[in-house]
Homo-oligomer: A and B are copies of this chain.
Amino acid sequence: MRHILHTWTGMIEPELRSWRRDLHQMAEVGFCEYVTTYYIYQKLKDLNFSLYIGQDALDSNARYGVPTDQVLREHEERALEQGVPEDFLDQIRGGHTGVVATLDTGKPGKHMAFRFDIDALPIVEADEIEHIPSSEGFRSLNEGMMHACGHDGHTAIGLGLARFIYQHQDQLTGSFTLLFQPAEEGSRGANAMVQKGWLDNVDLFLSGHLGIQPLPVGTVVAASTSILATTKIDVSITGQTAHAGMSPHEGRNALIAGSAMVLALHGIAPHGDGVTRINVGRMEGGSGRNIVPGEAFLQLETRGTSTRENAYMKEEAIRRIEGAAQMYGVNVNYSIVGEGISAETDDYWRKQIPLVLAKSTVVKQVQSELALNGSEDVTYMMRRVQDTGGAAAYLIYGTPLAAGHHHRRFDYDESTLAVAVNALAYLICAESGEGALQQ
């Protein structure tokens, strides 16, 4: 099997690269992955999987932070222009993106589930010659949206793994679920798939991320630690417009209040017992240059090592939001638009992964753990699997990085994609192979 997998990995590699580049070009932000969803669907439709899309794939009401109808409509227009057939689009309109693919071998065995996130970020991608997607012609076609977190690669890994399962289904046992999840950024999509029940009967769950820290290609980390709990907050400030020259004293300046919030929020003291984070990722306020700004809006997030540290940050953030509003005599409303929990890789996988991957010729090194220091709504899936008796792991696939995650020049070594597929395939063989790993 070692030999077979080595060869198979070599064969799939060019396709992984090609898929990744296609996906990179079609970068779409959360719940707007219409073209991406169609692309995934097309790639899977002949592989013997049962495919679920739209409200069959996720629970509409369990999504967080769905864009406004108008934004969704604009993206749906775009998807039509970019070639998604109208009848397909009709099934996923309204932000019901993502695909669930299931395959039952018909043989008794474990139920293994895998999750791949598919969304991009609202970043204008670099167009410098040093940026390979730019120089090699696969820069995002959607200006202002960019795969700057590697989910294009994750999706390609998922497609590769689907191919592996399809091609080797006779040698495999049990059943498989592949979750192509929308809207990971902002911790918005995972829970909608959880609430649909896809994780309720899973024995073994695997997901992962490429990059995180610069590591050599060939390195796989068995367990991410420090997946931070997080809260996503939207803030809306309402003041009072006034003529900025004649009667500034009649205004209630919502933009100054917002600016004071930004400074105060970023000044929350770190928690002494763990990692804490805050980010106001977006603010806008005011309408015209000579008008005292009457409105402002902020989008922010807090994070913490565990629920306790995140709760501290959240409480402090709300105190500052309310205090700044009082300070400037404006009204403020805030709403929680997303929450992520923390989760841990199970001991089962912590032991099993190094043992299994030691046999791979493609995986050169297995590192036992690495701190993510980020949030990931995969934690909802991990918790559900763990709560129903299964075991979950979140791996990291090593690669050098051209720039950090969420950077406009983010890029990675595509050869890590084959390593990831190889690793997951090895784990499938070990857990669900019909004696496939006997050598």
- Cross-chain contact of A327 among B240, B264, B329, B373 (Cβ < 8 A): B264
Q: In the complex, which residue of chain B has the Cβ closest to the Cβ of A266?
A: B267
Chain B residue numbers with a CB within 8 Å of A262 are: 255-256, 259
**A436 at the A/B interface (Cβ < 8 Å)?**
no
Contact A283 B255 (CB under 8 A): yes
CB neighbours (8 Å) of A256 from chain B are: 262-263, 266-267, 280
Contact A372 B282 (CB under 8 A): no
Residue pair B281, A282 in contact (C-beta under 8 Å): no
A332: shortest Cβ distance to chain B, in Å?
Answer: 11
User: A432 on the interface (CB 8 Å rule)?
Assistant: no
| CA distance in complex: A263, B328 (Å) | 12
Scan A388-418; emit 1 where CB is below 8 A from any B CB, else 0. 0000000000000000111110000000000
B255 touching A185 by the CB < 8 A rule? no
How many copies of this chain does the complex contain? Answer: 4
- Kindly list chain B residues whose C-beta atoms are within 8 Å of the C-beta of A408: 241, 294
Closest Cβ–Cβ distance, residue A403 to chain B (whole Å): 8
- 1/0 contact string of A148-166 vs chain B (CB within 8 Å): 1100000000000000000
Interchain CB contact under 8 A, B244 and A407? no
**Interface status of A258 (Cβ within 8 A of chain B):** yes
CB distance from A382 to the nearest CB of B (A): 17
Q: Which residues of B contact A249 (CB under 8 A)?
A: 269-273, 276, 312
Contacts of A222-275 to chain B: CB distance below 8 A? 228, 230, 232, 240-251, 253, 255-256, 258-260, 262-264, 266-267, 269-273, 275
Q: Are B323 and A301 in contact (CB under 8 A)?
A: no
The answer to whether B248 touches A269, judged by C-beta atoms less than 8 angstroms apart, is: yes
Interface residues of A in 178-214 (CB under 8 A from B): 185-186, 212
- A123 contacts which chain B residues (CB < 8 A)? 241, 287-288, 291, 294
Contact between B281 and A289, CB atoms less than 8 A apart: yes
> Do B243 and A374 touch across chains, with their CB atoms under 8 A apart?
yes
**A133 on interface, CB distance cutoff 8 Å:** no
Q: Are B244 and A277 in contact (CB under 8 A)?
A: yes
Interface size on A, residues (CB 8 A): 86
Whether A404 contacts B246 by the Cβ 8 Å rule is: yes
Complex Cα spacing A29 to B149, Å: 39
Residues B243 and A291 in contact, CB atoms below 8 Å apart = no
> What chain B residues lie within 8 Å of A327 (beta carbons)?
260, 264, 319-320, 322-324, 326-327
CB distance from A350 to the nearest CB of B (A): 21
Most chain B beta-carbon contacts within 10 A, residue among A124, A251, A283: A283
Partner pick for A282 among B248, B259, B287, CB 8 A cutoff: B287
* CB of A288 to closest CB in B, whole Å: 5
Whether A282 and B279, one on each chain, are in contact in the complex, defined by CB atoms closer than 8 angstroms, is no
From A124, A251, A406, name the one whose CB has the most chain B CB atoms within 10 angstroms.
A406
Residues of B within 8 A of A263 (CB): 256, 259-260, 263-264, 267
A244-B406, A281-B244, A405-B246 as given contacts; A288 in contact with B323, CB under 8 Å: no
Bound state CA distance, A280 and B267, in angstroms?
12
* CB nearest to A149 among chain B residues: B243
B328 engages A122 (CB within 8 Å) = no
Interface assignment of A303: CB less than 8 Å from any CB of chain B: yes
A286→B316 CA distance, assembly (Å): 21
Asked if B270 and A248 sit within 8 Å, CB to CB, the answer is yes
- List the B side residues contacting A283 at CB < 8 Å: 255, 259, 283-286
Chain B residues with Cβ below 8 Å from A270 are 248-249, 270, 275-277
By a CB distance below 8 angstroms, the chain B residues around A269 are 248-249, 251, 253, 266, 292
Encode A325-350 as 1/0 by CB contact (under 8 A) with B.
Answer: 11111000000000000000000000
Q: Does A48 contact B (CB under 8 A)?
A: no
A-B contact pairs, 7 of them (CB 8 A): A186-B290, A243-B407, A247-B405, A248-B277, A249-B271, A255-B283, A289-B300
Nearest 3 interchain pairs by C-beta: A323-B327, A244-B279, A284-B284
